[in-house]
Amino acid sequence: MSAFENFGVRQDVADVTRLECGICWTVYDPADGDEVAQIAPGTPFAALPEEWHCPNCDAPKSKFMAIET
């Protein structure tokens, strides 16, 4: 298992951390939310429902990695 496997399900990611899909590089920005899944702006990644997935490629949360700022 890679170091990033299941990264998206960790609870220690800061609420403002942007995460990027490791499959298609789509970015989840908590400030924007996810319009496709009707996730309100301001929703941290850790608060996304378990069934949430990448709006572009359908990858699970576990495939998302924090973006260094």
- CATH number, residue 60: 2.20.28.10
pLDDT score recorded for residue 10: 54
Distance of alpha carbon 59 from alpha carbon 36, whole angstroms: 14
pLDDT score recorded for residue 1: 39
Give the pTM. 0.80
Report how many domains make up the chain: 1
- Which of 67, 63, 66 has the alpha carbon at shortest distance from 1? 63
- 4 in any annotated domain: no
- 15 in any annotated domain: no
Segment 9-65, tens digit of pLDDT: 555 678 899 999 999 999 999 999 999 999 999 999 999 999 999 999 999 999 999
pLDDT score recorded for residue 8: 46
In the block, residue with structure tokens 């924090």: 66
pLDDT score recorded for residue 13: 78
Say whether 28 sits in a helix, a strand or coil: strand
Structural domain of residue 58, as residue ranges? Answer: 21-33+41-64
User: Tell me, what amino acid is at 55?
Assistant: P
